[in-house]
Amino acid sequence: MRTHRIVAAIAAACLMALGAVQPALAGLTITLVFVDNAPPPKPGVIVGGGQLQEIMQVAAEAWERVFKQGGDNWRITIEYGWDQLRDVNQFGRHTLGHEGDSPRRIVHSCVRFNNSPALSDANRGWFADPTPWENSEYSHYTTDANPVDKGWRNSINIARVFSEPIVDDALLRIDLLQVAMHEIGHALGLDDEYSGYAAQLKEDTFIPITPPRPFAGSVLFINPNGPHIGGNTPVGPLMISSPTPVTRQLISSVDALLLAQLSSFKQPDLSAPPLDRNGQGQGTPRHLSAPAFSCKFSGSDTEGPW
């Protein structure tokens, strides 16, 4: 893959997995359930040839890597599929199903992908990557970091972004893998109906990071619209409030740290993922299917373009 790298200075603490290796069963496991009750987007609205089931599996594997250790078992079931969202400007929509376990986390949720999104000259629809487990469709890779502590001694990664597509199908389109990873991020705790989020949000503005997580004592700013991580730039965290066409935003250290805090996970892996492999690329989705969503959808579907 032809890739130009722009690497920002990131503290060594951000570039390594923290803590001892835990038993094989510890960490996050995402059970995927494909809901086949609505058609996919029409030809031309979605291009590339990739399949939602395989893309969603790769997205789940990317998050499982981040939370593969930590001393507890984190289990969540995510129903997902195509649907016609009320807000045509949204590409994806997460809905909390229910909470449970100890510590209390989201254990069931639903993700709907818009099969009829609004189109424009700058946004022509979906790009469904036929090989979502690697990033060869993009030629440029950028990372960025920001200081995070009061003494400005340490920096944390805030962006891992592929851009400059080298295939026509990815031009001026929203990457389906990027949206899948983003919506799973909401399912892992960044949801204003989740009790862990409501309990930790301070002044409707920020989430403080507490021990034993890295960068304890720092704060992460929140945009309550969504909610999302504060700020909205083309090179930023995966969990910002708006997707950018022609990019693939991967999970940044800030994304991982925020969701670890919200869901009481002790040891997130903040290191950079392998750039040529987003998941195992098994080719055969390992999940179940259902005829309809079981989540109770709210009356409002207008909380941001994701």
Q: In the prediction, which pLDDT does 8 show? A: 33
pLDDT above 70: residue 149: no
Give the whole-angstrom CA distance, residue 219 versus residue 254. Answer: 10
Query: What is the distance between the alpha carbons of residues 66 and 240, in angstroms, rounded to a whole number?
Result: 18
Q: Which amino acid is at 135?
A: N
Residue 146: pLDDT band with limits 50, 70, 90: confident
Average pLDDT score over residue span 20-27: 53
Query: Which of 2-6, 172-176, 206-210 shows the lowest per-residue confidence on average (mean pLDDT)?
Result: 2-6
The model's pTM is 0.87
Contacts of 278 (CB under 8 A, 6+ apart): 58, 59, 61, 62, 132, 133, 134, 135, 177, 250
Mutual orientation of helices 176-187 and 52-66 as an angle, nearest 10°?
Answer: 50
More confident residue, 20 or 41: 41
The predicted pLDDT at position 274 comes to 85
Across the chain, what does the average pLDDT equal?
85
pLDDT for residue 5 is more than 90? no
Mean pLDDT of 112-136: 94
Q: Name the nearest CA neighbour of 257 among 142, 149, 96, 97.
A: 149
Does 16 have pLDDT greater than 80?
Answer: no
Question: So what's the pLDDT on residue 278?
Answer: 75
> Band of the pLDDT at 207, cuts 50, 70, 90?
very high
Residue of higher predicted confidence among 7 and 291? 291
Which of 120-134, 188-202, 239-253, 281-295 is the least confident region? 281-295
Per-residue pLDDT, 280 = 61
Which pLDDT value is given to residue 234?
Answer: 60
